[in-house]
Amino acid sequence: MVKFPSDKWAKAYMKALNENKAYGDAASDWEGDFLFVLTPGDKLKEKTAIYIDLYHGKCREAYVLKPGEEKKTDFVIEAPYGVWIRVIKRELDPIQGLMTGKLKLKGDMAKVMRYTKAAQEMVNTTTTIESEFL
């Protein structure tokens, strides 16, 4: 089991994304990096951000930012910790979460919407990691 969120989880996610052929195909011409921001609540005591660098169907880098560290990215998706758990457990579709405001996106929504299959595969990939929640 890998604790979510943690740097070890981010590395496991990077490895799983890079091994997911369906994600690679769906994101073959995608370029952009993300910050997944988890706001405190549901046992998470402080804001946590996971950086993901995606390029042409591969994840080039993934890690948890240090407390207080800032990173400029193309996209930021922010939600309370409990919402992220629902996404990882496939209880909440990420596109539906964005449309209903449960997940907040900063960045080009039109670009994200063109890659819904890649977004689905990103979520599918999270379910392959044996995650332990707080």
Whichever domain contains 108, its CATH number is: 3.30.1050.10
Residue 36 in any domain: the answer is yes
For residue 52, the one-letter residue type is I
Answer yes or no: is pLDDT of 134 > 90: no
pLDDT of residue 92: 92
Q: Residue 11: is it exposed, middle or buried by C-beta count within 10 angstroms (0-12/13-18/19+)?
A: middle
Number of domains in the chain: 1
Q: What is the extent of the structural domain holding 74?
A: 2-123
DSSP string, 2-13: EEESSHHHHHHH
Residue 62's DSSP bridge partners are 52
Is 122 in a helix, a strand, or coil? helix
Mean local confidence (pLDDT), 109-128: 88
| pLDDT confidence band for 41 (50 / 70 / 90) | confident
φ/ψ of residue 99, rounded to 5: -65, -30
Mean local confidence (pLDDT), 107-112: 86
Of the listed ranges 22-31, 32-41, 113-122, the least confidently predicted one is: 113-122
Stated pTM of the model: 0.93
Q: What is the pLDDT of residues 5-30, one digit of tens each?
A: 999 999 999 999 999 999 999 999 99
Residue 102 in any domain: the answer is yes
Residue 86 in any domain: the answer is yes
Q: In the chain, which residue ranges form alpha helices assigned H by DSSP?
A: 7-19, 21-26, 81-88, 94-100, 109-114, 116-126
